[in-house]
């Protein structure tokens, strides 16, 4: 790994790294916040909370705008923030903001020209955690959360891998991508015309089929400009109620889709995850 920059924050370190991804066939950048080791000569190991960002974002949006470092330092949680897609001159792209670079949708693409690089699902589930756990003082506890497209990714990855995560949360997630314009466009391009294959990346479908249940918190602003057409949290709630999945869905009056919303409720989400990541097993 190549260290790009390192900045002290709340007695910890906010860092950015570049590495060569074997799965995505290109260099990838991620950010990490490391709390200060407060136990002297003993190397303390921390749980890891992965943040997945939304359309057009990089690893820097959350690190600079969410204001998560103070409480992460206090609680003792490592924050890891990957980029939203593979990038580079040789990586397929599209002129629209909602497809291609910056819009990986956390799926494993099966169609050309995307399949060579766009395997963000495997990257988040397997390659990146292996790298993090090799180079940083982690324990065996992981949580995952995200915003918008990243909220979709967090819900899908968490529900498909309940043995890997202790908790899942999302801000304004794309809950039912097989039935919204963003999702139909991206899933059709990356996965092809067989809509049945899209269901593996739809949180509303997965929550109705889930056998194992993880604690899930979803926060949604009622003034979000994408609420009805793109996000559809009501569909997720209906599916959860029908299947008996213990989903906690909170509606917040007056809030939109921006990072002001995320910053307003980031502490609630961090404390939600801390209840599970810092739990001491009997």
Q: Catalytic amino acids?
A: 148, 224, 257
User: Is 254 exposed, middle or buried, given 0-12, 13-18 or 19+ CB atoms closer than 10 A?
Assistant: exposed
Q: Which residue has the tokens 């002297």?
A: 40
Q: Residue 143 to residues 119, 122, 187, 250: CA-CA distances in angstroms?
A: 20, 16, 25, 19
Cβ atoms of 18 and 4 closer than 8 Å:
yes
Cis amide leading into 75 (omega within 30): no
Concatenated DSSP letters for 49-105? EEEE--TT--THHHHHHS--HHHHHHHT-EEEEE-SS--STTS---SSTTSBTTB-T
Q: Which of 69, 216, 49 is nearest to 141 (CA)?
A: 49
Q: Is 193 exposed, middle or buried (0-12, 13-18, 19+ CB in 10 A)?
A: exposed
Structure tokens at 243: 């299947």
- Give the whole-angstrom CA distance, residue 118 versus residue 112: 10
Q: Residue 122 has which token pair?
A: 């495997």
CA distance 169 to 200: 19
Q: Which is it for strands 26-34 and 78-82: parallel, antiparallel or unpaired?
A: antiparallel
């Amino acid at each position: 790994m190549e260290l790009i920059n390192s900045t002290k924050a709340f007695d910890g370190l906010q860092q950015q790294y570049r590495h060569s991804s074997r799965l995505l066939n290109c260099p990838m950048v991620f950010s990490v916040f490391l709390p200060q080791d407060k136990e002297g000569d003993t190397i303390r190991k921390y749980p890891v909370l992965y943040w997945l960002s939304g359309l057009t974002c990089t690893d820097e949006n959350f690190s600079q705008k969410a204001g998560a470092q103070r409480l992460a330092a206090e609680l003792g949680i490592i924050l890891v923030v990957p980029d939203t897609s593979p990038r580079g001159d040789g990586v397929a792209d599209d002129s629209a903001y909602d497809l291609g670079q910056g819009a990986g949708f956390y799926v494993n693409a099966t169609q050309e020209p995307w399949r060579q690089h766009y395997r963000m699902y495997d990257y988040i589930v397997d390659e990146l955690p292996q790298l993090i756990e090799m180079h940083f003082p982690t324990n065996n506890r992981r949580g995952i959360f995200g915003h918008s497209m990243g909220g979709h990714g967090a819900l899908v990855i968490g529900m498909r891998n309940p043995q890997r995560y202790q908790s899942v949360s999302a801000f304004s997630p794309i809950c039912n991508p097989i039935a919204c314009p963003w999702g139909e466009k991206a899933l059709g391009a990356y996965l092809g015309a067989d809509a049945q294959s899209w269901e593996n990346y739809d949180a509303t479908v997965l929550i109705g089929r889930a056998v194992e249940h993880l604690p899930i918190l979803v926060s949604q602003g009622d003034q979000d400009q994408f609420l009805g057409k793109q996000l559809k949290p009501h569909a997720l709630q209906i599916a959860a109620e029908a299947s008996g999945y213990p989903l906690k869905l909170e509606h917040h009056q007056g809030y939109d889709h921006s990072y002001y919303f995320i910053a307003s409720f980031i502490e609630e989400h961090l404390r939600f995850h801390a209840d599970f990541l810092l739990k001491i097993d009997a």
